[in-house]
């Protein structure tokens, strides 16, 4: 399975089947509708407390494209590894908000600036 980290995707295997966790703008809007204005705080607290029902709801939103029609109940029944599920949610969340900082197309520093300084 190939995921696109620049798009905000993360991989998760559930029941031997590869899935893509992806929130994007639509997913974030759905989470805000579900959990309210401070949805990010509510989700962070749920993850810290290992509130599995809430984590399953968040995961269902994140899996909506790779597993159409999935519900939080179906995720609870599938019982994917908790730590890997949380890791995939957090990685997709980070990539959705901040992009993929692990891989860069551009150098961290401006090489022209270094060149100018070296020729002075």
Express each pLDDT in 24-33 by its tens digit: 999 999 999 9
pLDDT at 2: 86
Sign, Cα dihedral of 26, 76, 53, 7: negative
Pick the closest to residue 42 from 60, 54, 30 (CA basis): 54
Segments of the chain scoring below 50 in pLDDT: 103-108, 111, 113-115
pLDDT of amino acid 99: 85
Nearest to 10 by CA among 63, 52, 46: 63
List CB contacts of 90: < 8 A, sequence separation 6 or more.
Answer: 47
DSSP H or E stretch at residue 18: strand 17-21
**pLDDT on residue 117:** 52
């Amino acid at each position: 399975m190939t995921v696109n980290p620049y798009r905000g995707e993360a991989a998760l295997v559930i029941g031997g089947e590869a899935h893509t966790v992806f929130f994007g703008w639509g997913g974030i809007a759905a989470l805000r509708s579900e959990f309210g204005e401070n949805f990010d705080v509510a989700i962070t607290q749920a993850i810290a407390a290992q509130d599995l029902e809430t984590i399953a709801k968040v995961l269902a939103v994140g899996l909506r494209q790779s597993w159409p029609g999935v519900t939080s109940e179906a995720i609870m029944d599938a019982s994917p590894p908790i730590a890997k599920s949380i890791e995939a949610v957090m990685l997709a969340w980070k990539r959705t908000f901040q992009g993929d900082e692990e891989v860069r197309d551009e150098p961290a520093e401006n090489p022209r600036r270094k060149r100018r300084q070296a020729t002075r």
